[in-house]
């Protein structure tokens, strides 16, 4: 058996599928055209010896179902063998996922690497959209609340208290003249601590960096696995000998 690299087989598989579909469609269409499958041969014999002599007429068969079967086997045979080579290769193609010079995942099949690679695209989007703590506050993690807490801020609570200003004292002839006004008086203190379930920007940046590092490692592993040599598979001959045998 010959050898090929998995990435080479993957590269040609799409073209083989497209070609097979086009050719099989053409075969199917020709098989529906009765005129291509029909032929005739006619000769004329006059009744009388001196009767008209007419030339023979004939139409050749242009398309044969038996030939279509052979062509179908050739067309699909290539597709069957390419797909088998890819699938058999996928079972053998493996590589390690290495991050920071350490093996994170060992001997991983290429199909699983493809799965992880797709998942990490969505995971990166998820991490990028994590809520960020308000940078205008100082935050510390509060284990009792299981979230972040801001610094304690105290603010005064005031209350308006009426005050009376006597402008003129009362006399026997005139009552006293007064003016009432309100004074803000501190009556208490608010102590405020804000809580948040968001994360520090630095934490999000760290997580994003890890996801991107793993994305790169998985990509490298996939390329390594796809670059390994695999055995060409030749299975179609057995299939179509059985299907189209006389």
- Quick: pLDDT tens for 231-245: 888 889 899 888 888
pLDDT of residue 232: 85
Q: Which of 7, 233, 14 is nearest to 110 (CA)?
A: 7
Q: Is the distance from CB of 81 to CB of 232 less than 8 angstroms?
A: yes
Q: What share of the chain is helix, strand, coil (3-state, %, to 5)?
A: 45, 30, 25
pLDDT-flagged residues of the chain (< 50): none
Q: Maximum CA pair distance of the chain?
A: 170
- Of 180, 179, 157, give the one whose Cα is nearest residue 168: 179
pLDDT at residue 2, rounded to an integer: 65
C-beta atoms surrounding 50 within 10 Å: 6
- What is the distance between the alpha carbons of residues 156 and 148, in angstroms, rounded to a whole number? 25
pTM, rounded to two decimals: 0.65
Judge contact between 84 and 233, C-beta under 8 A.
Answer: yes
What is the per-residue pLDDT across 137-178, written as a single tens digit (0 to 9) for each?
A: 999 999 999 999 999 999 998 898 888 787 777 777 777 787
Q: In whole angstroms, what separates CA 200 from the centre of its chain?
A: 29
Cα–Cα distance, 48 to 95 (Å, whole number): 89
């Amino acid at each position: 058996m010959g050898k090929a690299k998995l990435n080479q087989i993957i590269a040609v598989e799409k073209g083989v599928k497209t070609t097979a579909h086009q050719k099989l469609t053409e075969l199917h269409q020709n098989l529906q055209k009765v005129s291509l499958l029909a032929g005739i041969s006619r000769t004329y014999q006059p009744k009388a010896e001196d009767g008209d002599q007419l030339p023979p007429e004939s139409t050749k068969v242009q398309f044969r179902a038996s030939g279509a079967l052979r062509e179908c086997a050739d067309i699909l045979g290539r597709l069957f063998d390419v797909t088998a080579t890819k699938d058999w290769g996928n079972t053998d193609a493996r590589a390690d996922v290495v991050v920071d010079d350490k093996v994170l995942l060992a001997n991983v099949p290429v199909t699983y690497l493809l799965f992880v690679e797709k998942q990490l695209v969505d995971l990166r989007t998820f991490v990028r959209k994590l809520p960020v703590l308000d940078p205008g506050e100082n935050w510390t993690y509060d284990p009792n609340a299981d979230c972040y807490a801001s610094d304690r801020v105290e603010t005064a609570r005031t209350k308006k208290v009426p005050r009376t200003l006597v402008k003129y004292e009362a006399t026997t002839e005139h009552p006293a003249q007064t003016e009432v006004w309100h004074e803000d008086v501190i009556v208490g203190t608010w102590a405020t601590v804000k809580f948040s379930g968001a994360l520090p920007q630095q934490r999000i940046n760290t997580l994003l960096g890890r996801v991107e590092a793993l994305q790169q490692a998985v990509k490298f592993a996939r390329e390594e696995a796809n670059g390994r040599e695999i055995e060409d598979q030749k299975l179609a001959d057995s299939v179509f000998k059985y299907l189209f045998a006389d």
